[in-house]
Each structure stands twice: as C-alpha cells, then as structure tokens.
A = this chain, B = another copy of it.
Amino acid sequence: MNNENKFSVNPSTNKKFLIPDDIDDRVNIENFINKNSNKKIVVVQGLGFVGAVMSLVCANSIKEDYAVIGVDLPNKENFWKIETINEGVFPLEAEDKKIDSFFQKSIDKGNFYATYDPYAYSLADVIIVDINLDVKKNSVKNNILDSYDVDLSSFKAAISSIGDHCNEDTLILVETTVPPGTCMEVVKPIIKKKYQERGFDTKNIKIGHSYERVMPGPNYIDSIQNYPRVFSGINDKSVEASKKFLETIINTKEYPLTLLNGTNATEMAKVLENSYRAMNIAFIVEWSRFAEKSNVDLYKVVNAIRQRSTHSNMMLPGIGVGGYCLTKDPLLASWSKQEMFHDEPLTMSEEAVKINDQMPYFAFEFFKNQYLKSLSEKNVLFLGVSYRGDVGDTRFSPVELIYDLFIKDGAKVYLHDPIVSFWEEKNIKVENYISKLLKNKIDVIVITTGHSAYKNDEIVKLIMKKTSLTIYDTIGLLNQKQIKLLKTKHNLFVLGRGDN
C-alpha cells in the first residue's frame, strides 16, 4: 500500500482517516450490541447514497426498535464514511432536513454504528445489500458509447462475505440494482454453497429482493419511508420474512407493498422503470433539434401535450441525463438479457443510453451554432454542476461533458452551485455564492442545472446589472417574463427552442 492509499479522505471536509491494516472491530461491535440488547439487528452492507440513508430509516423504524450496523470496506473510497458516522457526522450533504433529525435521533438512541468488520453479519437478523453494481462504459469521441461491460466480481465478493458470516436464519434482502436473474443465478448459488460448507440447512436460506426508489434531494427519507415498494423472494419463507421486515420500515398502510412472482420479476421491474425514463428522455432529443430548426418552443409544446393524462410524463428538452441510475440501468438489463438469458440485446434501451450520453455534446453544438464567436479566453459562468435540480449529487452529471467541451475550446469556466461545494469527479472547488462570481467579467452564462435557487428573480436582477453578455439556458429554466427582460440587454437563447 503506498502512502496515499493509507488514508481515506472526506471530500467535503478534507479530513483524513488512517485506514487500519487489521480489520478486527469485534470489540466495538460487541460493545454496541451490548448497549442495544434485546433489539433486533439490521446490518446494511454499503454506506453510499442508498445504504447510508437506508440505515437511518432502519434506525428510526416506524414499528421496531432496531440496532443498525452499517458496513463498508476499509478502503480509500469508503473508510472515511465509517469513521465520519461514528464521529457523529452524517457522510452526505443532503437537502432533506429529515436526514439531520433522523441521524440525531439515532445518536441519541445510540442505535447506529458503522464498521468495516464483516463480523457484523454474524449478529444480523436482517442484512440489506446496498452496494453498487457498476457498468463499465467504453465511450469514444463526444461520449458515444462504443461498448460496455458488467463486472460482477466485487458484488460476488460482497455476497460471499455475507455467506461466510451470516446466521442460518438471517434474511438477506438485496436492494442493489442488479441485472435481472442475479438473485437466482448469482446470490442464491453463492449463499447455498456457503450454507453447505458451514453445515447449515439450505432450506433455511432466505433471500429477498426489494429495490429502492431512493431520490436524493429534499424528500430523501420519504423516498424510502413513504413510497410504494415492490418486493419478492426466492421462496415462500423469503417472501414472508421480507414482507415482515419491510412493514417495519415503510409506511405500508399508505403505500401497500406489491409482491411480484420471483426475484427475476422485481429485478426486471427496477431496470425497466429506469430504462423507461431514460428512453423518454432520449426520445425528446431529436424533437429538440426539430423544434430548433422549425422555430418552435418545444417546452410550450410539451406542456400543451402534457395536459392529456396519457401524456403527462412526456419529458422536456434538456442538457442531458445524469445520476447513477438512468445512465447505466438499461445496460444492466441488456447485459442480463444477453449474458444470463442468451438472447438478443435490448436495442432500444441501449440506444437510449447512447443518445442521452451525447446530449451535453448536442447542447454544446447548439450553443456554438448560435454564439458563432470563438470561445478562446472567454469567461464563462456555469450555473449548477449537479445532475439534477436541488440535488447535491454530481455522479455522472451531464454538466461534466459540456464543461470539458467549453474548456477544450479555450474558455475559462467559473462554476457555481448552491449545494455542491466540491466537484469530486473533476476535483474542483465550486463556489456557493453567485454574487462573488458575478464580480468577474463574464462573457457567457450557461444555466446547466435546474436548482430552485436559479428560478427566482434575484439572479435575473444581478445579471441585468452586468454589461451585455450571452445567456444560454440549456434546460428551459427561465420563464417568459425573465426571458423578455434579459433580452432587453443581453443575448439569450434556450435549448429546444427555435423561436429564440
């Protein structure tokens, strides 16, 4: 291990944590359990955007008094999360106030502990699998998807680790988005083998699948606790145990559970759900180009169409689709269809990802066709770096590609975001105060993320004080009144609008 890899750093605070060589945390775990005697134990595997918040929801169960142990790996990427939680700081910056109050309550109750020691699994009544399963994309110029691959090795290792330590009666509830077929073809065989090795009765294996619909943002907690849930199990026992557990963390009175017949079905539901969304975004891309060509305001057209209940979910034009799910789930599905079921790929769903990946490039092209001048040495201000309005998540943000394209053309780009203060993927600081940035000479302002903070007239007022510049709205954020005012002084154009 080289020196740099000895530490895991909290990217928000820059605080460094020394990664232990020895993964024995048994004393602390038992200490925690002793303080929480008589409580059922929930272990959450993975402390990312889902697992960390899922831990809070379990620690604040609506029906049970659980002791919750979050487990992650003692490596550079994850170890700081474990230590940060145990120091009393939640590892995610979130706009949902419930996050803070849930975390504070868990501290007061002393029922949430984080560790890297898989020994925790041996104490669990329920283990929730919330680790990531990534798709490796190989893209060529302008982000065109060329090929992709799914590597199950770390997922398999995580399941094996559970199988090595869990009890015979533990419920393993998979929440990770997986290629359909994974619970039956990957998880079950691994656990079965471990049960046999450990002399457990394989009839007692309980594996459930219930995918999360977590939406980072102002309703983070509610997107788990107050949201419809689909679930399944590999057998009746698994279904029963999963149901019983889910009823303790989800408000099933208002949001009744939906049982599907088998884990293939729930696994497919999750990736289909996200592929549908990705497809509907991709669909509108070529219509944006059409609107731009034919002097049509596509935002108005789509809003007119949305009045029909059968068309209420049509997407608006935009800079691109980001986040962790929509950019990969269609590929997970297509990979499964090919590799697990030896069938043709999901061509349309793959095509949707391919188109969406290129959206920031199309947005840049439209800019260049309107702006005409060289970008070299121009001062450009980006409003927003996260992938979605009012969300502090920059993973796979479409802003990344358009940022790269502006930089490549010689622009100097200032970054603003009201929530994100550090852009991890680009390793750049992001300014939270817009007035500070507007003190600079600015040639171009690009509205890149739909944060609520950008929708009020204060920012328009600030921009009206600047000398004439170019404003490019890539997401149709500005309203008609704002556009009219800004146009009295500035040059302005909107993606997906030909009537600029």
Chain A residues within 8 Å of B, Cβ to Cβ: 180-181, 213, 228, 230, 258, 260-262, 264-265, 268-269, 272-273, 275-277, 279-280, 282-283, 285-287, 289-291, 293-298, 300-302, 304-305, 307-308, 310-314, 333, 336-337, 340-341, 343-344, 346-349, 351, 355, 499
Contact = CB atoms under 8 A, between A and B. Distances in A.
A312 B313 contact: yes
Contacts of A262: 295-296, 499
A interface secondary structure, majority: helix
A317 to B, nearest CB: 12
B286 A349 contact: yes
Question: Which 8 interchain pairs have the tightest Cβ spacing?
Answer: A228-B307, A293-B341, A258-B304, A265-B296, A230-B304, A269-B301, A264-B294, A273-B305
A301 B283 contact: no
A490 B300 CA distance: 53
Given A294-B264, A337-B293, A286 B228 contact: no
A109 to B, nearest CB: 32
Contacts of A304: 230, 258, 260, 269
Contacts of A351: 348, 351
Contact of A295 (B264, B279, B311): B264
A291 to B, nearest CB: 7
A305 B333 CA distance: 16
Given A261-B296, A272-B301, A283-B348, 7 more contacts: A180-B296, A213-B308, A261-B499, A265-B296, A268-B301, A289-B343, A348-B355
B348 A305 contact: no
A272 to B, nearest CB: 6
A181 B294 contact: yes
Which residue, A258, A283, A355, has most C-beta atoms of chain B within 10 A? A283
Which residue, A302, A304, A313, has most C-beta atoms of chain B within 10 A? A304
B268 A291 contact: yes
Nearest to A499: B261
Contacts of A341: 290, 293-294
Contacts of A213: 308
Contacts of A305: 230, 269, 272-273, 276
B261 A343 contact: no
20 contacts: A213-B308, A260-B301, A264-B295, A264-B296, A265-B297, A265-B300, A268-B301, A269-B301, A273-B308, A273-B311, A279-B283, A280-B280, A282-B348, A283-B349, A286-B346, A287-B349, A290-B337, A290-B341, A293-B341, A311-B313
A388 B287 CA distance: 28
Given A268-B301, A304-B258, A290 B348 contact: no
